[in-house]
Structure 1
């Protein structure tokens, strides 16, 4: 968080290949987190694997990166409200 405050960009901090989270949405349990289809996750191996993240720390203003307690994610498409309600 300090690096962001000091002017670093999320893509600079995320490393070479952060996992991608596509068709993502915020979710609330004991903490705020994201759910979505993960590709390239180092521990949850697979392509388009449905996952829930650790606690959400921040999402970039343009919704292209998210930082959770355990790692950075590159964000794909956000699930629309109509898709969730449908």
Structure 2
């Protein structure tokens, strides 16, 4: 990612976080079900997405870096988009299905 693209992406993220409204329904979001906190080299979400622009509905996915998580309101903001949180699962749910390789 170029420096200019990174700045624009982070600015959009900061604007989104600054403007969170009380009306969560107004946020455009991709849904993520069977979600759990996960990690790559950064915190992320792992789950089955619905309405994602490039991942088929119901397919397992790792999100980009997680910047904001509000389970009580059912929303999360990653580097690339908002997610509407569905059912949460224990991380072992995914660890059993996709064991980490040494």
Fold match (TM-score > 0.5): yes
Aligned to 1:19: 30
- Normalised by the size of structure 2, how large is the TM-score? 0.66
Count of residue pairs the alignment pairs up: 80
In structure 2, the CA distance between the partners of 1:10 and 1:66, relative to structure 1 (3 Å rule), is: farther
Aligned to 1:31: 42
Determine which structure has the larger strand proportion and give its number: 1
Aligned-pair CA distance for 1:9: 3.2
Tell me the distance in 2 between the aligned counterparts of 1:10 and 1:67: 15
Aligned-pair CA distance for 1:13: 5.9
1:44-83 matches, within 5 Å, as 44=55, 46-62=56-72, 64-80=74-90, 83=93
Determine which structure has the larger helix proportion and give its number: 2
> Which protein is bigger by CA-based radius of gyration?
2
- Normalised by the size of structure 1, how large is the TM-score? 0.76
